Amino acid sequence: MVESSYSFILTLYKEDGDRLGEAAVEPDWGPAYEDARLTALRRGRLSPDAFHSDGVVQPIWDTKSGRPHVAGVKVALENVAAGPDPDADGGVIVPITYFRKLAEAASVQLVARGVLKEGDTFQYGVLAHEKNGCGGPSDDGSVRIREAGDPLPVHASALDPYLARSMVCGPDTTDDFPVFFPASMLERIAALVRDAGPCETGGMLIGRLCRDADAGELFAEVTAQLPAEHVQADSASLTFTGETWAAARDAIRLRGGSETPLGWYHSHPAKEWCKDCPPEKRATCSLECFFSAADQQVHATLFPHAYSVALVVTDGQRGLRFDLYGWRRTRILQRGFHMLRADGGRGEASS
């Protein structure tokens, strides 16, 4: 649970600067907290044993307008090792664009009241006020995030041998930590997608988080896929149930318990969606690569860790396509991955 001695308020304006109204909001600091943890872990500033350290959200006051106007927030962690750069403390700076969805939700109420017209553009600012009579969870009034949990299992391993026998797939996102998939696993997932035919299918991705201390980098090796059991599937959706995750946890225990859930995968049977479309429309189909709002909701709810990834397998007009998505600076975006080749070769490919 997150407690705060600050109240955050959105102020909405017309483009000409006229004020439209205010709305009190309660931001979800979880994605920013997860980003700070992963950043500190990648830099070697956070021990896996202290992965569940308390997080602190501190308002950054606007240098021109001053307090209570917020220019952004800083999410930092306690128990982070000191370094030569005082600003590189494992924290992340979150701009006020983090409040955008909350501002869009607030604008709906203004439209309902007739203050704003449907389709009108607007601007917003963020204010932070100390709550009256609140001693707060910290002396400086910042938000504190507390989470209990077991140490994060991170294995010591060299990165170069993985790079030497892998192919780069997808977009070049060098800022993301590397994720490696065995080619044989992708082939197995492809077979499951084909067997599912017109229905979506999916499952959990498990493996190991590794850190190369010499390279100063964290990476993930996906070691297995666990087909989801007890799911509800049709051509346009895949619903994981409580039994699905219980079966996955049992499977991890049977495998020795040394692996960690790294994410999930699911398919998009685009050929089924497009079977009634005319040929000219199918030739320019835009369904080859996307991560829907429903997909984002599943990922944010069930796989909130910044190292969590989601593999989408699209069965489209041009065959099967693999695309990986993951967290980047609190947003879920497409990212690249590495395919481990059994022959030990190395090359570059796009999917």
Torsion of CA 190, 323, 252, 44, to 10 degrees: 150
Minimum mean pLDDT range among 11-20, 230-239, 291-300: 230-239
Structure confidence at residue 287 as a pLDDT band (50, 70, 90) = low
Tokens at residue 196, please?
Answer: 């599912």
Helix (H, G, I), strand (E, B) or coil at 315: strand
Tens of pLDDT, residue by residue over 311-320, are 999 987 778 8
**Average pLDDT, stretch 192-220?**
91
Going from the N-terminus, what domains does the chain have, and what CATH number goes with each? 2-145 (no CATH), 154-348 (3.40.140.10)
Tens of pLDDT, residue by residue over 251-281, are 888 888 788 899 999 998 877 777 777 766 6
For the cut 60, the answer to whether the pLDDT of residue 331 exceeds it is yes
Instruction: Quote the pLDDT of residue 269.
Output: 85
In this structure, how many other beta carbons lie within 10 angstroms of the beta carbon of residue 350? 10
Q: Taking all residues of the chain, what is their mean pLDDT, rounded to a whole number?
A: 82
Tokens at residue 328, please?
Answer: 């980047």
Minimum mean pLDDT range among 78-92, 101-115, 119-133, 204-218: 78-92
**CB 272 within 8 Å of CB 317:** no
For residue 314, the one-letter residue type is T
**Average pLDDT, stretch 316-344?**
88
Exposed e or buried b per residue across 48-63, where buried means at least 16 C-beta atoms within 10 angstroms of its C-beta: eebbbbbbbbbbeebe
% residues pLDDT > 90 (the chain): 39
CA-closest candidate to residue 6, choices 135, 148, 186: 135
**CB 121 within 8 Å of CB 111:** no
- Residue 17 region by backbone torsions, left for phi larger than 0, else alpha for psi between -120 and 50, else beta: left
CA-closest candidate to residue 264, choices 248, 251, 250: 248
Cis peptide preceding 68, ω within 30 of 0: yes
CA 4 to chain centre: 24
The full length of the chain comes to: 351
Instruction: Quote the pLDDT of residue 289.
Output: 79
Tokens at residue 54, please?
Answer: 């308390």
Tokens at residue 176, please?
Answer: 């993301």
Minimum mean pLDDT range among 33-37, 240-244, 287-291: 240-244
Exposed / middle / buried, residue 283 (Cβ in 10 Å: 0-12, 13-18, 19+) = exposed
Tokens at residue 120, please?
Answer: 């009108």
Exposed e or buried b per residue across 267-280, where buried means at least 16 C-beta atoms within 10 angstroms of its C-beta: bbbbbbbeeeeeee
**Average pLDDT, stretch 21-37?**
89
**Average pLDDT, stretch 7-11?**
92
**Average pLDDT, stretch 1-19?**
79
Instruction: Quote the pLDDT of residue 149.
Output: 61
Instruction: Quote the pLDDT of residue 61.
Output: 94
Report residue 127: phi and psi, to 5°: -115, 150
